[in-house]
Structure 1
Amino acid sequence: MSDIPPSRWALGGQATRGYGPRFAELVARGDDVDGEARLADALCRRRARILDAGAGMGRVTAALRARGHDVTGIEPDRSLVDQAETTYPGIGLLPLDILELSPAVLEAHGCPAAHDLVVAVGNVFVLLAEDTERRALTTLGSLLAPGGRMLVGFHLTAGPAGSRTYPPEEFVADVEAAGLRVDLRAGSYELHPANAEYAVWLLSRDVTTG
C-alpha cells in the first residue's frame, strides 16, 4: 500500500539478511527458541485466537500452533515468509504489514477479525517505520477481542542493526495515546524484574478512554 513507509527493517538491507537463516539453524539444531511462545501460551485460554504480528521466520507462530492455538502470522519481508515455509512447511504466513491490517483485511484472508492475544515480539516495535509506532499500536489494538491483550517485547539497548532506541517512558506515552494501557512491564519472557536492557510489555484496551 502506498501509505505504508519502508520500515527500519526494510531499510537495513543486507544487515538484516542473516536473521532468518540464523534462527532456522537454531531450530534445526534443536535449540530452545520458544521463550516468547511459552509466555504467550500462558496468557491465553486453550484454542485462543492469536495474531503474530511481525512473525519473522515463523517460530512463534509455529510454537503456538503446536500448543493448539488458532494463530495468524503476518510478515511483510518476503524472504522471511519463504524462510518460514522452508523451516515450517505449510505455515502460510501472510505477507502483510502491520499498518495495512484491519478486520476486513484479515477476514478477506480467511482469518479471525478479532484476537484474544496479539503478539509483537522480537524487536518488532523498534524496527517499524519512523514515526509509525502510535499508528501500529492503534491498528493492533483495534484487532483485540473484548478482554484481549497484547504482548510486546524489544531491546532497550543494543538492538538489532537499524533499530531505534525506544525509551520506556516514550513507549508508555504512545501506548496511552493509542487507547491502550500497560498492565505489566518485565525484563524478560520469564518475567524477571524490569531492567534497562530489555522490556516485555503486556497491554490491553484502556476502557476508561471509551
Structure 2
Amino acid sequence: MSGRVPSRWEELTAADPAHSTWFVQRFRTLAAEGQDIYGEARLVDAMLERGSRVLDAGCGAGRLGGYLHRAGHEVVGVDVDPVLIDAAGHDYPGPTWLVGDLAELDLPDREFDAIACAGNVMTFLAPATRESVLTAFARHLSPTGRAVIGFGADRGYPFDRFLTDARSAHLTPTLLLSSWDLHPFTPDSDFLVAVLTHTPRSD
C-alpha cells in the first residue's frame, strides 16, 4: 500500500472487515430472491456486438461482468478488494478477475470495446485519484470504444465535477441518462449514467 492513496472503499473495509462479506451476501440473497441485479449489464450488452471486449471496472462480486460473459463477451473484471474478486470467481466463472487499483490500471495489449463502471464505483475512489482513473479508462478504450459510468448524487462527487474531470481525461460525453433504463438526464436528476468516448489529444 506504500506510495498509493487508499480508496474510500479500502478505508471502509479497514474500519469494518466484515463489510465485504456482507456486500457479497447481499447480492447473493437478492439473486436468490429473484431480484433483478443485472440492469446495468443489459444496457451495456445492448451497445455491443457479440464477442466484444469488456472491462468491468470496480467489478465487485462480478454480477455485471458475469452477465456479460454469459452474453458472449470477453470480460476482464478489476477490483481493489480481494474478497470481492474471490466471490466473483466463485459465482461467475469465465471472465478474468483481477485484484487491482483502478488508478494504476495498466493492462498490456488490452483495448476494450466497452468499459463499464457501475455500482457507484467512482464515488468510492479516493478523490485525488478520480482523474487518474478516468485517464486510465481513456487509455484502455479501443478507437470506437465507449465507457459507461453510473453513480448517484450526494455521494461526494458532483456530476459537473465528474464531467469536467472526464473532459480533462479526454473522455467526451456522448449521452447522459438519469438511470440505467434510459430515462433522460435533467438538471434535477439524482443519478447519472454517462456514455463517453475517448478523444485523443491533439498535441
Give the CA RMSD over aligned residues: 1.8
Q: What are the Cα deviations for residues 24-52 of structure 1, in whole angstroms up to 9, with x where unaligned?
A: 11122332111000000011111100000
Residue in structure 1 matching 2:189, options 168, 185, 196? 196
**Selected match of 1:151 from 148, 152, 162:** 148
Q: Is the 8 A contact 1:179 1:209 kept in 2?
A: no
TM-score (norm 2): 0.90
User: Is 1:8 paired with 2:8?
Assistant: yes
Q: Calculate percent identity across the aligned residue pairs.
A: 38
CA contact under 8 A between 2:69 and 2:94: conserved in structure 1? no
Matched residues, number: 197
Aligned pairs for 1:58-77 (under 5 A) are 58-77=62-81
Contact 2:75 2:96 in 1 (8 A): no
Instruction: Report the Cα distance in structure 2 between the residues aligned to 1:19 and 1:118, rounded to whole angstroms.
Output: 22
Shift of 1:73: 0.8
Identify the match of residue 159 of structure 2 among 161, 168, 171. 168
Matches of 1:91 and 1:180, distance apart in 2: 26
1:65-102 CA distance string (max 9 Å, x none): 11100111111101111222332245541111212222
Structure 1 19/143 Cα, relative in aligned 2: closer, same or farther at 3 Å?
same
> Which ranges in structure 1 are unaligned for 5 or more consecutive residues?
108-112, 158-163
How do 1:112-131 residues align onto structure 2 when only pairs under 5 Å count? 113-131=110-128
Structure 2 CA distance, aligned partners of 1:102 and 1:73? 13
